[in-house]
Amino acid sequence: GDARLVLEVQQQLGGGVVRTIAMGTSDGLKRGLEVTDLKKPIQVPVGKATLGRIMNVLGEPIDMKGDLTEEDGSAVEVSSIHRPAPSYEDQSNSQELLETGIKVIDLMCPFAKGGKVGLFGGAGVGKTVNMMELIRNIAAEHSGYSVFAGVGERTREGNDFYHEMTDSNVIDKVALVYGQMNEPPGNRLRVALTGLTMAEKFRDEGRDVLLFIDNIYRYTLAGTEVSALLGRMPSAVGYQPTLAEEMGVLQERITSTKPGSITPANG
């Protein structure tokens, strides 16, 4: 068929041979297939065109609503998912609070604008429901934008989430990026960066944006799987030796700058 498989180069083995991780299923691949060198990193669409849409790790729409286009019909801006973190002089350290509209959170555990928030809980206790309510409130009360990255989550939850946002009339304020648990590990390891890249664009436009990553632990697990596939020696408890670096690459970019802020909630 005309389905294309994107591979991201991880190691240069010499002699024109590279080791890659697949962003989609590798079923049906065989020796001797032709590969095209794109000569650029994975690039995804950013900006207002992403709002109200469901996209995959490559920024391709998967909601069957056609291609992403700007309101005036022009091509959508794209940005690489691999970018350096903002320098210290570019970062902002404002002490404002973000009113969530959930009374118990605003009273007991207020969110700092641009501060990092972690939601901890066992399976099925309501982390995702909490995120849904936060997105709805921020969109309804503050007209703020949110980006939701579903990393290794259940497809059913992603579906419920979309319909919940649609029913609440806030779907046009949120961009949804999914790499669910049925996807290969390379996809799940990169989908958080795709969501973050979209959030960075809104921040650089001077907005206060919420970034939800559900679930950050499954991002870690995807890194463990990729590390094993690349033949790296695991650390003492079985995690990848590059765990701190992988988490740092993601978390260091989630920060507030002079124009705007990213407030992350990691489930």
Tens of pLDDT along 177-201? Answer: 999 999 999 999 999 999 999 999 9
Mean pLDDT value of segment 146-168: 89
Q: Which residue of the set 127, 173, 201, 203 is catalytic?
A: 127
Residue 20, pLDDT > 60, answer yes
Per residue in 242-257, pLDDT (tens digit) is: 999 999 999 999 999 9
- pTM as predicted: 0.92
Average pLDDT of every residue of the chain: 91
Q: Which two tokens stand for residue 214?
A: 């559900």
> Bigger pLDDT: 145 or 143?
145
Mean pLDDT value of segment 194-210: 94
How confident is the model at residue 140, as a pLDDT?
A: 78
How confident is the model at residue 188, as a pLDDT?
A: 96
Check if 153 is active-site: yes
| Domain at 245, CATH number | 3.40.50.300
What is the span of the domain harbouring residue 257? 45-266
Question: In this structure, is residue 9 part of a structural domain?
Answer: no
Question: In this structure, is residue 32 part of a structural domain?
Answer: no
Per residue in 40-87, pLDDT (tens digit) is: 999 999 999 999 999 999 999 999 999 999 888 888 999 999 999 999
Residue 214, pLDDT > 80, answer yes
Question: In this structure, is residue 112 part of a structural domain?
Answer: yes
Check if 60 is active-site: no
Q: Which residue of the set 8, 153, 183, 246 is catalytic?
A: 153
Check if 173 is active-site: no
Question: In this structure, is residue 5 part of a structural domain?
Answer: no
Q: Which residue of the set 48, 83, 154, 207 is catalytic?
A: 154
Residue 2, pLDDT > 70, answer no
Question: In this structure, is residue 187 part of a structural domain?
Answer: yes
Quote the number of domains for the chain: 1
